[in-house]
Amino acid sequence: MTTAVRRGRPRNAAVDVAVVETVLRLLEEGAGVGELSMERIAREAGVGKATVYRRWPGKEALLLDVLRSLEADLQTPEPVGESVRDDLVLMLEFLRRRGLAKRSSAVLRAVITEIRSHPRLWRAYQDTVVQARREAVYEVLRRGMATGEIRADLDPELLADLFVGPMLARAVLREWQELPGGLAERIVDAVLDGVRPH
């Protein structure tokens, strides 16, 4: 049995970081997404345009990686699987911390605002990053239905909105409202009281 041999030089992670950091710097300096061409990004990063295109097929893919890099220190937690309540608290606490990070990071706010004004890019972000998080919540809820911790006659998507919605409303729609510690527990306990089997 033969193994495939990779041609060319291995990808240089330092170049990836340099390009992403360049985009962040340009956005921080006030450049809009529309002003950022792949050519400009390559020039500012000190690399060839072909180098950038080898890594990202276009600007949208690059900007998605930029947004992911801003959230890298807030990794989505893996559910433990022992208690639906504890797993839901873990997931909502992640959203609370992400909301606090967004409020404290002018760059993160700017990138998200820019991306939301570009429907295709926003859709790609929703389909990749956000949907994966939602699927994780659905999985926990379905497990709760199977174990009898949650009523089995409820729609998991609606349930997810009931649990996640209050945290998102405070973190995104009402940014002046506090996101205190213990908020995740209060939300989960309040909703669980209404969705447990009678």
Options 1.10.10.60, 2.40.30.170, 1.10.275.10, 2.60.120.260; CATH for 13-70 is 1.10.10.60
Q: What is the CATH topology of the domain spanning 84-195?
A: Tetracycline Repressor; domain 2 (1.10.357)
In this predicted structure, what is the pLDDT of residue 147? Answer: 93
Q: What does the alpha-carbon distance between residue 13 and residue 94 come to, in Å, rounded to a whole number?
A: 28
Output phi, psi for 141, to 5 deg: -65, -40
How far is the C-alpha of 34 from the C-alpha of 26, rounded, in Å? Answer: 12
Confidence at residue 105, expressed as pLDDT on a 0 to 100 scale: 67
| HSE of 75, CA atoms in CB hemisphere, 13 A | 3
For residue 29, the model assigns a pLDDT of: 82
Same fold, 13-70 and 84-195: no
* Site of tokens 């992670």: 13
pLDDT mean for each 10 residues of the chain (198 residues) = 46 84 85 85 92 89 82 70 91 87 68 77 82 90 94 94 91 77 94 88
Domain positions in the chain are 13-70, 84-195
Buried/exposed 110-123: b ≥16 CB within 10 Å, e otherwise: bbbebbeebeebbe
pLDDT given at position 137:
93
For residue 11, the model assigns a pLDDT of 63
How are the residues of the chain apportioned to helix, strand and coil, as percentages rounded to the nearest 5?
70, 0, 30
Q: What is the pTM of this model?
A: 0.71
